[in-house]
Amino acid sequence: MTLQGLISKASDRQGSSNLDEITNVGSRMAFDVVDLAGFLDETGVKARNQLVQMAELRTQAELIQTANASVQEAIAESTTSSRETLSKLNETLQTIRASNQKNEDIARWVASISERMQNIETALHGVEKLNSEISGIARQVNILAINAKIEAVRAGQSGRGFAVVAEAITELSRSTTRAAADVTDGIASLAEDLRAFGAEARGVASDAKVVIQSFGGTNTLMDGIAQQMHGTVAKGEDMQHRAESISIAVSTFMPVIEALEDASQETSDGVERSRERIHNLVDDSERVVKLGIASGGVTEDQKFISYVTNAAKEISSAFTQAVERGEIAMSDLFDRNYVPIQGSNPEQYMTRFTNFTDRLLPKFQEPALNLDSRIVFCAAVDQNGYLPTHNHKFARPQSPDPVWNAANARNRRMFNDRVGLKAGQNRDQFLMQVYRRDMGGGNFALMKDLSAPIIVKGKLWGGLRLAYII
């Protein structure tokens, strides 16, 4: 071999090595970019959630401000009403106290009647005793007068003048006795009336004591009401001051909330712009890998690429032959009317080609699971991301548990996310995508998704996806 040939061969070898390196660097770059894109996706979700929370916080603060204004207004009206009520109550209390004092004076006067009646009864007893003594004296005088008259008769003519005096004394004694008797009768009648009146007076006096005590209790009660009203007014004023403090506090932190909301909006917008740029970078990194491989670059993904491209061609051929044999019409094979399966959760769908793919696709999809232990699934999707027929391990009948169904009954489902749609709509020889698979519990696994187009009679049906862990 000539020197020029050796140089050319070395150059070709160096170029091939560089191409391999470019391909592998592109693959690693896709890995890092997708990981970063996933982080930005999470950050974007958190930023949007934060923005929603800030909006809710602002709304709540506005509601608090509005409600507090209503409370302030209500408290002000209540306090004003309480003050007016307290003023009227004080006036009423003064009137009641004056009335109570007059009633208490009357009650005390009524109570004193009983004591006065007792004094009158005592005096009457004294009068009755003196009148009895007068009657006794009158009787004695009458006896003396009778004796004088007897002596005057014995004295004869000389005792006639003495007899006249004795007769006068006798008449005076009789008059005194009659008068004393009348006084005794009057005193007896008056005493009886006084005793009856005294009994009534004592009852009234007893009631008067109760009334006096009642007036004391009433005054105490009214004083207590006044104190409570004073307390109510004081509490109302305190509530008013506190409501004013709340209003000041809310008005103080409202600008802070608005500033935080603006900052959250800017963060969310910035993250969204970064996400768009990162996803464009993901597309670029995928394109670099694809161009590197198409140009002859060798990567560890070569065996997966070969399998998925060959299998997609075989499926395309099998679909075409089935149409030509009349096993399925083109219109049915390209049916895009997805009919929900009643009661399915997560929702599953049927099309006019689902039963057909259930019969045909497993023989192309199942062998892929034995190609490498890193392979998670191999399944075909149409242009809209509809996956009619999955690997057997992911095509279990649904159970009542939707969480279990999401992991084990993945057939007849719609996977129209970014990866699924790109896989179903790609027309190039193959498409390599790197994405993060949600493993639950906040954990993610980086995966590669290789897909190749399925074409029937020149029309793109969808793509065959081969997903494996990196």
Residue-wise pLDDT tens digits, 275-334: 566 656 666 666 665 665 666 555 678 899 999 999 999 999 999 999 999 999 999 999
- Judge if 67-254 and 300-469 fold alike in CATH terms: no
Q: How far apart are CA 458 and CA 308, in angstroms?
A: 19
Torsion of CA 141, 143, 145, 148, to 10 degrees: -130
Asked if 22 contacts 292 with a C-beta cutoff of 8 angstroms, the reply is yes
Superfamily name with CATH number, domain 300-469: PAS domain (3.30.450.20)
First to last CA, the chain: 43
Q: How far apart are CA 122 and CA 128, in angstroms?
A: 10
- What is the torsional sign of CA 183, 188, 194, 198? positive
Where is mean pLDDT largest: 127-136, 232-241, 444-453?
A: 444-453
- A 10 A CB-CB count for 51 gives 19
Q: How far apart are CA 54 and CA 56, in angstroms?
A: 5
Q: Is 69 exposed, middle or buried (0-12, 13-18, 19+ CB in 10 A)?
A: middle
* Joined tokens for residue 344: 């399915």
Q: How far apart are CA 449 and CA 447, in angstroms?
A: 7
* Single-letter code of the amino acid located at 404: W
Instruction: Give the pLDDT of residue 154.
Output: 75
Q: How far apart are CA 330 and CA 321, in angstroms?
A: 11
CA separation (Å) from 437 to 92, 419, 425, 445?
Answer: 81, 11, 21, 5
Superfamily name with CATH number, domain 67-254: Methyl-accepting chemotaxis protein (1.10.287.950)
Domain boundaries, the chain: 67-254, 300-469
**Which residues, in sequence order, are bridge partners of residue 454?**
462
Q: How far apart are CA 447 and CA 24, in angstroms?
A: 16
Instruction: Give the pLDDT of residue 390.
Output: 97
Region of poorest pLDDT, from 187-196, 302-311, 330-339: 187-196
Three-state secondary structure readout of 61-115 = HHHHHHHHHHHHHHHHHHHHHHHHHHHHHHHHHHHHHHHHHHHHHHHHHHHHHHH
Residue 208 has pLDDT above 70, yes or no: no
Instruction: Give the pLDDT of residue 400.
Output: 96
Residue-wise pLDDT tens digits, 52-78: 877 777 787 777 768 767 776 777 777
Residue-wise pLDDT tens digits, 75-110: 777 778 767 776 776 777 677 666 666 666 666 666
- What is the torsional sign of CA 238, 242, 245, 247? negative
